[in-house]
Amino acid sequence: MIIQKQKAFEEIMSALEGEEKVFIFGCADCATACKTGGEDELAQMKQKLEEQGKQVTGTYVLDTACLSGEVRKRGKELKEQLDASDSVLVLACGTAVQTIGDGLEVIAHPGVDSLFIGNVVRLGKYVEKCSACGKCILEETGGICPVTRCAKGLMNGPCGGYSPDGKCEVDPEQDCAWLLIYERLRERGKLGWMETVKDPKDYSTVSSPRTLVWEHKKEAEDK
């Protein structure tokens, strides 16, 4: 899930300066789970914008706002309201903003800051466990990601900085990821994995922008 938080209302108002008519999109997926762009948040944003003299031409919570097909389909259904709008405010992740902006050829303002791919522990508590590095090594680390959960992203650890209570020297609120890995491997009788010195992380797999095209589909389309 893309963990996100809504921008300050002043920042949103500043982005909308000079625009009177605004349509608001949300997303039933991550944005609803993070309480940034579900039905309730769209209704609240509509009310706040109207109190500031904006005309809200409509609101719509897309099922999944990063799906081009869905965005185009809804865009056709909402054409009249969108045509009557100066711009669109998107209360969903940055991918959604661009999917909507590009797909519907509208000015799409981000109303949300996308933070990280996260695990929802419970409503209001979100934890980063994977940074989509493109080459997963969880098999060798007992299912605990050092790329993301070690503050230095070390491939061999722990460093010398962990505290006696097992916390990280960079952030004493966080457990040292490499101590967690050690304990996990010890429990599983796999400590031998720590004796192998791992190569430095190959960060060529995270150079942006990344794309993925299924080869079998591409071949079929090329025929």
Residues near ligand SF4, by CB under 6 A: 130-133, 136-138, 145, 147-148, 150-152, 154, 157-159, 161-162, 168-170, 176-178
What is the closest distance, in whole angstroms, from the C-beta atom of residue 181 to ligand SF4 in the complex?
Answer: 9
C-beta of 107 vs 151, nearer to ligand SF4 = 151
Q: How far apart are CA 198 and CA 124, in angstroms?
A: 36
Question: Which C-beta is closer to ligand SF4: that of 60 or that of 162?
Answer: 162
| Residue 27 tokens, joined | 């997303």
We find the least distance from the C-beta atom of residue 198 to ligand SF4, in angstroms, to be 11
Instruction: Return the H-helix or E-strand segment holding 127.
Output: strand 125-128
Q: What is the dihedral of CA 163, 165, 170, 173, to 10 degrees?
A: -160
Distance in Å, CB of 174 to ligand SF4, minimum: 7
Angle between helices 94-104 and 68-77 (to 10 degrees): 50
Q: Residue 37: what residue type?
A: G
Q: Which is nearer to ligand SF4, 84 or 132 (CB)?
A: 132
Amino acid letter for position 16: L
Closest separation in Å from C-beta 206 to ligand SF4: 9
In the complex, what is the shortest distance from the CB of residue 16 to ligand SF4, in angstroms, rounded to a whole number?
36
- Name the strands in the sheet holding 2-6, side by side, starting at the edge strand that comes first in the sequence: 2-6, 112-122, 125-128
**Residue 76, token pair as written in the block:** 């056709």
